Structure 1
Amino acid sequence: METMVFINLPVADLERSKAFYEALGYTINPMFSDDTAACVVVSDTIFVMVLTLPKFAEFTDKTIADAETIEVINSLSAPSKDEVHRIVDAAVAAGGTEDRPEMDLGSMYQRSFTDPDGHRWEYVWMDEQAMQDGPPVE
């Protein structure tokens, strides 16, 4: 079995969060969702659990970070630059905010946004051949 990734995020408004991630083209798995949490299916191995603040608090004794702080940047790969644009443009249209300038290094391209709760996401395309070849020899 491949390793699966579950990203757990506290959210202020569960329905808003579900609608936001569905607008990016992801689906909600109803088997792992209720009125306190929703399972956003990103891929066969990546899932985002959006949890109401009280539900998220059940899993930690620590203070939950607010939108003014950052502890993690969630980075996901995309198969093309066009897909990076599609996802980030959809995020902005659905209520997210593009929070950093695009970065184009030729063999790598990235854009980032924050969701309505302030969680940061980066989508990155990498030229696989350039990554295998490494930096040019001068």
Structure 2
Amino acid sequence: MSTMIFVNLPVKDLDASKAFWTKLGYAFNAQFSDENAASMVISDTIVAMLLTEARFKDFTHKAVADTATTTEVLLCLSAESRGAVDELVDGAVGAGATEPRAAQDHGFMYGRAFEDLDGHTWEIMWMDPAAVQGDGVTHGVS
């Protein structure tokens, strides 16, 4: 079985967050969702758990980050093409997100970012597969 990642994110309004992500084409796993949490399926191995702030606090003794003044994490997702990067970020902005910086274009790699309704930063990037083939670097954990 592949290693999975479950990213837990606090949200102020669970219904608004679900509506935002639904507009971007993401679905939710009802088996792991309730009035305090929504299990957003990003891929077969990536799930974002959107938790009400009260539910999120059940898992930590630290204060929930104020994303208006601090960055708690930068989440980066790959895209199939430059166009897919633009489509997702433009859709996010159209659904209420903000774009915190200009696109970054390095030729072989292109990325943009958006901050969702709760200020979580999502970076969307495309990298030319030819640019990373045979780079001689061992990726991952052995």
Q: Which residue of 1 aligns with 2:31?
A: 31
- Alignment partner, residue 74 of structure 1: 75
1:122 paired to 2:91: no
Which segments of 5 or more consecutive residues in structure 2 lack a partner in the other structure? 136-142
Q: Provide the aligned C-alpha RMSD in A.
A: 0.9
Distance in 2 between residues matched to 1:2 and 1:52, nearest whole Å: 28
| SS at structure 1 position matched to 2:34 | coil
State the TM-score, normalizing by the size of structure 1: 0.94
Could you report, residue by residue, the CA deviation over 1:2-34 in whole angstroms, capped at 9, with x for unpaired residues?
A: 111111000000000001111111101111100
TM-score between the two structures when normalised by the length of structure 2: 0.92
Which residue number corresponds to residue 85 of structure 1? 86
| Partner Cα distance (2:37, 2:72) in 1 | 21
Which AA in structure 2 matches 1:89?
A: D
> 1:71, CA displacement in angstroms?
2.0
Provide the rounded CA distance (Å) in 2 between the counterparts of 1:31 and 1:59.
Answer: 20
Separation in structure 2 between the aligned mates of residue 53 and residue 72 of structure 1, nearest angstrom: 16
Please state how far the C-alpha of 1:130 moved relative to its aligned partner: 1.3
Deviations 1:29-85 (A, max 9, x none): 111100000000111111110000100000000111012210210001101111101
In 2: Cα distance, 1:57 partner to 1:133 partner: 44
Is the 8 Å Cα contact of residues 107 and 131 (structure 1) preserved in structure 2?
no
Equivalent residue, structure 2, for 1:13:
13
- Equivalent residues, number: 134
Contact 1:3-1:45 within 8 A present in 2 as well: yes
